Amino acid sequence: MSKVVGIDIDGGQVRAALLRSAYRKIEVLGLWEENIVDHDGVDAALARCVAELETGAVDSVMTTADGLRTFIHQLSFPKTAEKRLGELLPFELEGELPVEVDEIVFDWVRLPTFESGEIPVMAIAAKEDHVASRIQLVKDALGREPERVGCPGTELQQLVQVHSELSGEGCCAVLNFGWEQVDICFLVAGKLRWARSLGVGVGDFPEAGTRAVALLKQTLAAFAVAQGVQVQKIWLCGRAAAMEGISEYLMAQLGVDVELLSEAWSLTKAAEAQKEKALTSDFGKFAKPIASALGGLRGRGVDLRTGPLAFQRGYSHVKARLPLLGGLATAILVSFLFSVWAEGRALGEENKALTQSLGELTKATFGQSIENIDDAEVALDAARRKKSEDPMPYIDGFGVAVALSETIPHELVHDIEELEVAKGKVKLRGIVSKAEDAQTVAQRFGEHRCVEDVKVTKITQVVNSDKERYQLEALLNCPEDGKKKKSGGSR
């Protein structure tokens, strides 16, 4: 099981969520928030916030960059560039960003391919010094660096894992109201399509209500034009969860169904949470830190810790996991020793059965039981030597006929009048078209491994025909017959 802390630094408050992955479920170990004005700076507030959640060692820390200081652009690439998207993105971003490409860190998300075959990509970038400052802030507060720095808008897509309503068919938007900004994530059938951050937040209400509605209308219209799909429902989370009447107000102004993201969560409270006050049922208020923690548990999401800011695990990470590694090594060693013992026992039983079978077979064959393989081979060799020699030659008359059919060329016209095989000699009388064919038959027949000393003894013309009659004699001497004679002679 893994424990991950998700951190959200939002205007005057810091929020943190501690999650743990268990078997087929995700447990909430704690949710906590601190007002920055009550502490000596953001780092002190963050340290206190996470300290309230501690229930043992934490495996990972996740946070997000400032959405208003993050650049999000949609780019299109031809299908031929599919395997080189990471290489081509910097060149495409260079013409889109108001800063030098050497000053940024970026990540990207591939979107569904267009009907034309082009590949749309959502590129997320931020200035390197901003991401570095966010990393340093978390390090100063907690004594460790965050392993991932995400983008607030795209991070909200992680909530699909724990909220059933977000993964349904159709298009919806998740609006996380912060103190200074609103982060928006657009989803189609639970898949990320677009994200944006607006520079208006709860701290500006109610005076900025009209401005917030105008920005939201503009964003929804831009998304509909760019993606070709209308938002059917808006889910509110973050500080909007504590604003009475906000959903009704936005629904009337935007003309879209708006609802608080407060029900249908598949998160469960951990029974061993140390502080009951660190748990709340209002998960929607902590949507962004929960989303960051989910990204750490599942290893998904946009990560701006790339290039020179890429996270490097040090010796302390390994040292903290030495007990776990030691336990795994012990389990592997025990499993190996058990498998060796089990295999040895199985081989011993098999050897016992084979030995018994050898004894029964040798008793039936030689009249005595022999269970040693070497002794059995000696007895078998002795039995072979006592075996009487086969009087039949290796090749007989039928075999000679087969040899003739195999050796005589198919294109040669040949008739056999008489074939005699006796005492290792072959006498053949045949008819061919011309005298040269008789020599060809003799030559080809002599190439057979059991035939030697082939000669044509007589050639005459057939009466009343232009064909030639020939007589052929040869000796039969197969290598197999030689072996029989050699073994018989030694006996």
Classified as helix, coil or strand, 393 is coil
If asked whether residues 203 and 270 sit together in one domain, one would say: yes
Alpha-carbon distance of 431 to 471, in angstroms, equals 9
Rg (alpha carbons) of the chain, rounded to whole number? 45
Of the three residues 341, 363, 386, the one that is the final residue of a domain is 386
If asked whether residues 294 and 311 sit together in one domain, one would say: yes
Q: What confidence category does residue 62 fall into, taking pLDDT thresholds of 50, 70 and 90?
A: very high
Strand locations in 104-220 (E): 104-110, 119-127, 148-150, 171-177, 182-188, 191-198
If asked whether residues 188 and 74 sit together in one domain, one would say: yes
Element (DSSP H or E) covering residue 28: strand 25-35
If asked whether residues 298 and 369 sit together in one domain, one would say: no
If asked whether residues 29 and 70 sit together in one domain, one would say: yes
Six-digit token string for 83: 């395997």
Q: What confidence category does residue 203 fall into, taking pLDDT thresholds of 50, 70 and 90?
A: confident
Of the candidates 133, 398, 147, the residue with the CA atom closest to the CA atom of residue 295: 147
Q: Which residue type sits at 214?
A: A
If asked whether residues 466 and 330 sit together in one domain, one would say: no
The reported pLDDT for the residue numbered 220 is 93
The answer to whether the CB of 67 falls within 8 A of the CB of 151 is yes
Element (DSSP H or E) covering residue 116: none
Mean pLDDT of 418-431: 90
Is 392 inside a domain boundary? no
The answer to whether the CB of 419 falls within 8 A of the CB of 454 is no
Q: What confidence category does residue 333 fall into, taking pLDDT thresholds of 50, 70 and 90?
A: very high
The reported pLDDT for the residue numbered 378 is 86
If asked whether residues 315 and 330 sit together in one domain, one would say: no
Instruction: With 0.85 as the threshold, say if the pTM is over it.
Output: no
Q: What is the CATH number of the domain that holds 423?
A: 3.30.1360.100
What number of other Cβ atoms are within 10 A of residue 426's Cβ? 22
Is 86 inside a domain boundary? yes
**% of the chain at pLDDT higher than 70:** 91
If asked whether residues 351 and 478 sit together in one domain, one would say: no
465 Cβ contact partners less than 8 Å away, ≥ 6 residues apart:
none
If asked whether residues 267 and 336 sit together in one domain, one would say: no
Range of the domain at 467: 397-490
Percentages (nearest 5) of helix, strand, coil residues in the chain: 45, 25, 25
The reported pLDDT for the residue numbered 489 is 46
Q: Quick one: 55 exposed, middle or buried, by C-beta within 10 A (0-12, 13-18, 19+)?
A: middle
If asked whether residues 211 and 82 sit together in one domain, one would say: yes
If asked whether residues 204 and 80 sit together in one domain, one would say: yes
If asked whether residues 158 and 300 sit together in one domain, one would say: yes
Query: Per the structure, how many domains does the chain have?
Result: 3
Of the three residues 320, 339, 355, the one that is the final residue of a domain is 320
Of the three residues 298, 320, 342, the one that is the final residue of a domain is 320
